[in-house]
Amino acid sequence: MKNAIAERIQDFLRKFHPFKSINDENLLEIARNVTVLYLEKNDYLFKVNDGTHDSFYVVASGAIGLSITSDSDDVLIDKCDEGDILGLRPFFAKDNYLMNAKAREESIVYAIPIDIFKPIVIKNTKVLEFLLQSFASNTRNPLDKKNKGKLLSENVIYDDNSSEIQYYQPIHYTKNPVTASTLDITRYVAQTMSSKKIGSIIIHENKLPVGILTDKDLRSKIATGLFPIDTTINKIMSSPVITVAENISIVEAQLMMLKHNVGHLCVTKDGTNLSEIKGIISEHDIVVAQANNPGVLLRQTRRAQNTEDLRNIRQKVTDLIQNSIDKNIPIYHICSIVGELNIAITKRAIEQAIEKMGIPPPTQFTWLNIGSQGRKEQLLLTDQDNALVFEDVSDERYDEVKNYFLTLAEIVTKKLNKVGYEFCPANMMASNPLWCRTVSEWKNQFYNWIHSPGEKGILMCTIFFDYDFVYGDENLMHAITDTILKETYDNQLFYAYLGANALENPVPLGFFRQFLVENDGEHKDTFDIKSRALLPLIDAARILILSSGIRNINNTALRYAKLAEIEPQNAVVYNSCEEAFLELLKFRTEEGLLYNSDGRYLNLKELTKLDKVKLKNDFQPINDVQEIIKNRFKLTYFT
């Protein structure tokens, strides 16, 4: 009598290696002895340290995740889909399982008894070789040259080489610093500094930092007789004090000091001057912590005399990125540091251009980086996107002033092009009259984009709503920010358009969980990590942070971190989005460094199975955050 179930199992197994190398008679015998297992989502097939089973397994449907336990958390290192084999340890070894196997969704698994399978395949060289390779790939990382032969469970956690990554570790700072109030008398504050043997003291008002008093202030303002020693502190303190968050790294601290030309930083709970004082960082703290770091590049940038100097510095920045990647420095720290260096290079290019003009700017202006530069996410040498805002002037002066800034912008953008930042193909640069405007013109432009969103308006919003101050009068930028927040407040039509745009790129996997790749053209069969994976997360973060009325947070990872803070009910999703975005950005950066490209198109054939699993895991947060957008902005029918 025929066994219909066994024949269906036989037909299924025949489609996959190594079963397609087994003759029909033996394969049917195997199928007759298969046990069919049904697993609910999150059910375990086996766990770390479980005794080995008398069967190995083939996934018939669903997905089984293989993970190890690290610091009480499951770290996913592989995912088995339809036809994949797992649990081969009892076939080759007698010790306990080294991984967890857990259903990531409802799954059906075929359990194949080893006692039945072994005699049939023991003489089949092809099958044995396949099983050995499968066993190795499921428990080892043969492509990892540094850790060749080690179990994945031994090397999935990055080496903690503190001597190599010390510069990127959080800096040790003085906690609970001595403080004084604005109305304290200088004489007594100076006596306190002397008795405590400290060179600075934070000045507060209602426990919030408003300034700092240093030995330099006492020398230049009191010792010289400019102010009497009995004057109040608020008359001689340096204000405002530069504030930073508690977890700032050594490199970031030095870059902040160099950027703002200060010798001290005030550490606050959230990094702003609107939260409680936690400590103080001095130049001495940095000198003690390190001897040499990317701050040297910042100094070299300030001294650069010409375009060639800037080009050489940017090449060193590329080397810095590669070295940091090689040392497994967190990508967030790399973005932060490179973002500051990119700003410094642009700023110096502007200063050189003004010197070349021979005439000082006729009015106040500000230079903005927009797009990926505005988000401080431009690690690779891609194209430049920038804009210029200048003060409102009379009609009689308008043409003369605008022509000056257009000429200035053309010099700057040409310099940046020679440095290595390509011209924007869409000409979204300050040298374009459309993007070199007065502050009132810019406010009107944003008003029109917001109230007449349309396709073009939304495209502009996705670029120009991500901006960062580079040079000039920062108040001009704040005026534009004020307009954006005012006009977008509770603007349902605008958010419907922006939300629909954010949903245009769903999770980039096909029905059978295959990657969606380019179908034709120069990049045929490659994966567009920018448009299919990074942009959905970038667009989602933008609309959510904008609708929350949060200003001056433009970086995608920081946006998700802030969203997790203000929306604890969605914190799990936002934290996952932050992690996924940073890992995807690392994938793109590594691709670009390897092939000296913009890293946009990944050749999937050159990725390891582990890397492919990581990529697919990074796609789930896209779906989760897009569901939040659909529900929040009622886009089910709109889209």
CA 579 to CA 557: how far, in whole Å?
8
Phi, psi (degrees; rounded to nearest 5) at 225: 85, 5
- What pLDDT is recorded for position 446? 93
Q: What is the mean pLDDT of residues 267-284?
A: 89
Mean pLDDT of 560-587: 94
Lowest mean pLDDT among 124-128, 229-233, 309-313, 462-466: 124-128
Q: Can you list the positions of beta strands (E) in 229-364?
A: 243-244, 264-268, 277-282
Q: Looking at residue 380, what is its pLDDT?
A: 84
Q: Which residues touch 439 (CB under 8 Å, ≥6 apart)? A: 389, 390, 391, 392, 476, 479, 480
Residue 132 has pLDDT above 70, yes or no: no
Portion of the chain with pLDDT greater than 70, in percent: 88
* Cα–Cα distance measured from residue 44 to residue 65, given in angstroms and rounded to the nearest whole number: 9
Distances, alpha carbon 602 to alpha carbons 459, 579, 611, 626, in Å: 25, 20, 11, 24
Residue 411 has pLDDT above 80, yes or no: yes
Cβ neighbors of 286 (< 8 A, separation 6 or more) are: 171, 250, 253, 254, 257
Lowest mean pLDDT among 73-82, 95-104, 294-303, 331-340: 73-82
Q: What is the mean pLDDT of residues 222-235?
A: 92
pLDDT of amino acid 336: 85
- The predicted-structure confidence for 200-210, as pLDDT tens digits, reads as follows 999 999 889 99
* Opening angle at CA 609, ends 605 and 626, nearest 5: 90
Mean pLDDT score, 66-92: 70
Per-residue pLDDT tens for 493-532?
A: 899 989 998 998 899 888 778 898 888 888 899 999 999 9
pLDDT(1) > 70? no
CATH number (3.40.50.300, 3.40.91.10, 3.40.50.10490, 2.60.120.10) of 4-144 reads: 2.60.120.10
Residue 185 has what pLDDT?
94
* Confidence check: pLDDT of 292 > 70: no
Q: Which residues contact 291 (CB under 8 A, 6 or more apart)?
A: none
Q: What mean pLDDT, rounded, does the chain reach? A: 85
* Closest to 249 (Cα-Cα) out of 281, 219, 213: 281
Distance CA 84, CA 79 (A): 9
**Cα–Cα dist 304/324, whole Å:** 24
Q: What are phi and psi of 424, to 5 degrees?
A: -70, 125
Over residues 423-434, the pLDDT tens digits come to 999 899 999 999
In this predicted model, which residue has the larger pLDDT, 579 or 158? 579
At residue 211, the 3 state secondary structure works out as strand
Q: What is the mean pLDDT of residues 33-46?
A: 91
Instruction: Classify domain 294-444+469-479 at the CATH topology level.
Output: Beta Polymerase; domain 2 (3.30.460)
Confirm or reject CATH 3.10.580.10 for domain 169-286, answering yes or no: yes
What single string gives the DSSP state of each residue in 612-628?
HHHHHHHHHHHHHHHHH
So what's the pLDDT on residue 149?
35
pLDDT, one tens digit per residue, over 243-274 is 998 888 777 787 788 778 788 999 998 888 88
What confidence score (pLDDT) does residue 394 get? 96
pLDDT on residue 142: 32
Least confident of 158-172, 282-296, 311-325, 538-552: 158-172
Q: pLDDT grade, residue 75 (50/70/90)?
A: low
pLDDT band of residue 90 (cuts 50, 70, 90) is confident
- Does residue 217 sit in helix, strand or coil? helix
Closest CA to 166 of 327, 316, 313, 318: 327
Average pLDDT of the segment spanning 549-572: 93
Q: Report phi then psi at 181, rounded to 5.
A: -95, 165
